[in-house]
Amino acid sequence: MSVLELCRWIQYSEPLVAMRASPWLFPVIATIHLMGLAVIGGAVLLVDLRLLGLGLRDQPAAQLARDAERWLRGGLMVSVSTGILLFMCFATKYYYLRFFWIKMAALLLVLVFTFSVHRRVAMADDARVTPGRSRAVALVSLSLWTLVAFGGRWIGFP
């Protein structure tokens, strides 16, 4: 079964057909997706601004990172689960849209990066990390998240 065929199978399965039958279900799920995005934005900015020497710069980065992580996870759970539903609803359409795939690639990259390198640097003792490294990590994180956001917004364009 090709990816496209899998997409079609999912899209036209009973639950998804039922989802599309409602005039308001898709918009509501899209709205919740956006709310998750806002929470992710706040959690990411809290840490990355600090790593750039901005925002809550008088606080130890590690503590901020710990505080933010549960909201990042919460936001991700909401956005990823709603995102999966949104995708399944029009899977064969998204299959053909390049910005969808760009968004997914950037999302995968940023998730891996955030929960490995970024986390290690953010949670490290302030004395042990150079400002240069903190800034680099923050910039990579912000760039990737920006790519995810733009990709998502531009899904509908060829």
Q: Which residue has the tokens 């990411």?
A: 44
Long-range contacts formed by 55-61: CB under 8 A, 24+ apart: 60/126, 61/122, 61/123, 61/124, 61/126, 61/129, 61/134
Q: Tell me which of 8, 73, 119, 135 binds other proteins, using CB under 8 A.
A: 8
Closest CA to 89 of 16, 141, 30: 16
Binding flag, residue 115, other proteins (CB under 8 A): no
Give the integer Cα–Cα distance in Å for 56 and 47: 9
Contact 83, 40 (CB under 8 A): no
Q: Tell me which of 6, 13, 18, 34 binds other proteins, using CB under 8 A.
A: 34
Binding flag, residue 18, other proteins (CB under 8 A): no
Binding flag, residue 78, other proteins (CB under 8 A): no
Binding flag, residue 90, other proteins (CB under 8 A): yes
Q: Which residue has the tokens 């806002």?
A: 38
- Report the nearest approach of other proteins to the CB of residue 87 (Å): 14
Residues near other proteins (CB under 8 A) are 4, 8, 12, 20, 23-24, 26-27, 30-31, 34-35, 37-46, 49, 55-59, 63-64, 67-68, 70-71, 90, 92-93, 96-97, 146, 149-150, 153-154, 156-158
